[in-house]
Amino acid sequence: MLNKLVVSVAVAAFLTVGAAVGAIAADKGPAEITLGASGKKPAVFPHAAHQEQGIACAECHHGMAADGKQTPYVDGMAIAKCDSCHNPEKLAGKTLGALKLDTLRGAGHGNCQTCHKAVIAKDSSKDKLMKCATCHSKK
């Protein structure tokens, strides 16, 4: 009886630690990413630096429901590459203002530039964030 109790407490403690480690080890993806690497204007993206600014995963990541509607990011969800959805097959004709969301460019400019503009609106000394070469520094 006592032995059984000791074992179940030990198992519970093990599971708790396991869950905590699992949470810490959640896949944060690569530290540095080049988007559109095979295209005409690759974009450099310091992924880890953005996470370290305290920007929530949900600012950039989301999912898609069976009806084609965007679903919000939830912790632990599988994260797919932007162009696995933002392509002419999956999001044909979808737009955000003048941007075409069925291209990686539209997804990139829609996400990256919207936030960078908002940062500049609060602090004009950061106007470099909207310069083409800040993101498109590689040829």
Q: Write out the residues near ligand HEC by the rule CB under 6 A.
A: 26-29, 33, 35-36, 39-47, 50-51, 53, 55, 57, 59-64, 68, 70, 79-86, 91, 94, 96, 101, 104-105, 107-113, 115-116, 119, 126, 129-130, 132, 134-136
User: Cα(100)–Cα(16) distance, rounded to whole angstroms?
Assistant: 45
The residue among 7 and 23 lying less far from ligand HEC, judged by its C-beta, is 23
The residue among 12 and 96 lying less far from ligand HEC, judged by its C-beta, is 96
The residue among 11 and 20 lying less far from ligand HEC, judged by its C-beta, is 20
Over the Cα atoms of the chain, what is R_g?
20
User: Cα(41)–Cα(53) distance, rounded to whole angstroms?
Assistant: 26
The residue among 8 and 137 lying less far from ligand HEC, judged by its C-beta, is 137
- In contact, 112 and 135? CB cutoff 8 Å: yes
Contacts of 12 (CB under 8 A, 6+ apart): none
